[in-house]
Chains A and B, each alone.
Chain A
């Protein structure tokens, strides 16, 4: 009697588990399928719009025909400027945190500050950039102001990724370098940094990817509504892909849908290729690592 009871309960538990797994699988599908839907739709409806002219021409007739060249160039400029400003500070900060800093209240405060920097809403970065770079320092609405704003936003991503990569290098590498008579800095420059490089590159790419796709921080610091020419100096305004997509989908009535989807696809391709590059670097070097 007891045996049969146990047996039935056992089967019941087994069935519960099966149903539970199916439920979890369905929930996962609910997460994954919309992603496929979004990407599939944007590729499907945006691809017909993309051709050589679309990518290399100025927008014409209030953006309703022509290409998106200035927006593409603007975004590339912004990303490079951001990289120029954020990479040295970010990697320097990471080296300090992982190699030099001891675990004091000050270091803990720095870490907390980095965490907070990462969570500040992007629109607040925009306000800050407007207050400091555009108005207080008098850069005006310019590429310089936009790049610096984006750089500060990117910084926490780069610092935490680079620090993690540096910390992952085993202590033996440092000990051996010191035992060979190398100074601490020589060890870092010749041994630790090269070993951590793939992790750092991944982090940098992920940070810049965010900078490339963000709209709110550039709204008041650099973005031009409609500027059918290329910027001439770092004090110029410029168009940018994400802001352009926002403008043509909300501010311009009667905008052809193909151009909207084409712009969305261009932005998506840019961002996802950086994403893929980051993944490839990470996986490739993880396999080749000697430790």
Chain B
């Protein structure tokens, strides 16, 4: 019976999000919901700036974390000697354990001023700062899943590559990494899921201005993400008001987004398992 509880909880979570969030679709016109202005006090519930804000921060974060994460996974798994691996892996686990509010605090007090002064920006609390911190929060996930994927590549593949006269380096990039491709894609998906749902750190360092991030320099300007909006405003809204329903509506959107991302990641995992090929 207990095993079924997890299905129950997922259903329950979705049910309660729907229960509290669906009314917003009746109370607010669709044109307003998809508008470009989020000013709940004046009944403007345009979620577009929040969605774009989330996308901007998340995509930038993954753009930073992806090359770093894969390079690190390859280095730890394929290049580094055993003793170094024994130091590096626990360090990366430590990064996974640091609470997001601590990273947010660190970003606010140390990284944001650094970005303001060194890069000459008007403010350090920007999408870029958020993306930087998010990248490091997604890194442990990306590294460990990618490393597992590399680990699952059979030794015979490596031997065959080396036997063909390829150097170790060529074997890594032309044989091992392509063979681990599906696992690496999963790693990126899981990192993406983690980044898009992250709340506290993002809320503390992105400046929280709900404006459309459309100009080229918007990466260095404040943005507001979906998660930060919920966390910042839920404490102050009257229960049952339109604003309250709208925040739950954003929750539904987040739930569905992570659900889809995760489903995509999971199907690659299940497909691999059923094929019985790589482990």
Contacts and interface: CB of A to CB of B under 8 A. Distances in A.
A56 interface: no
B248 to A, nearest CB: 6
B133 to A, nearest CB: 10
Interface in B232-279: 234-235, 239, 247-248, 251, 254-255, 258-259, 261-263, 266, 270
Given A27-B67, A31-B139, A216-B231, A155 B6 contact: yes
A131 B19 contact: yes
A38 interface: yes
Given A20-B169, A41-B110, A249-B204, A31 B101 contact: no
Which residue, B13, B93, B270, has most C-beta atoms of chain A within 10 A? B13
Nearest to B269: A115
Contact of B235 (A117, A219, A260): A219
B92 to A, nearest CB: 7
Q: Which secondary structure dominates where chain A touches chain B?
A: helix
Interface stretch (A57-65, A118-126, A167-175, A188-196): A118-126
A89 B6 CA distance: 10
A214 B103 CA distance: 12
Contacts of B170: 13, 17
A14 B93 CA distance: 33
Interface in A21-63: 21, 23-25, 27-28, 30-32, 34-36, 38-39, 41-42
A31 B92 contact: yes
A112 B4 CA distance: 11
Nearest to B171: A17
Contacts of B79: 21, 24-25
B129 to A, nearest CB: 13
Contacts, number: 241
Interface in A61-112: 89, 92-93, 95-97, 101, 107-110, 112
A161 interface: no
- Does more than half of chain B's interface fall in helix, strand or loop, or is it mixed? helix
Contact of B94 (A28, A114, A120, A272): A272
Nearest to B198: A121
Contacts of A120: 13, 197, 255, 258-259
Nearest to A243: B101
Contact of A215 (B19, B20, B100, B169): B100
Interface residues of B, number: 79
A117 B198 CA distance: 15
A25 to B, nearest CB: 6
Nearest to A14: B167
Contact of B106 (A21, A89, A97, A264): A264
B123 to A, nearest CB: 15
Nearest to B21: A127
A213 interface: yes
Size bracket, chain A contacts: 35 or more
Contacts of B74: 24
B28 interface: no
Contact of B93 (A28, A213, A275): A275
B53 interface: no
A215 B101 contact: yes
A113 interface: yes
Interface in A124-179: 124-128, 130-132, 135-136, 152, 155-156, 159
B82 interface: no
Contacts of B13: 120, 124-125, 128, 152
Contact of B17 (A116, A131, A249, A272): A131
Nearest to A159: B6
B130 interface: no
B99 A17 contact: no
Contacts of B99: 212-215, 242, 267-268, 271
10 contacts: A27-B67, A39-B98, A93-B3, A116-B10, A119-B261, A119-B262, A124-B197, A124-B230, A213-B101, A219-B234
The 9 A-B residue pairs with the shortest CB-CB distance in the complex, in nearest-first order: A121-B197, A213-B99, A27-B71, A92-B2, A17-B169, A96-B3, A131-B16, A24-B75, A216-B199
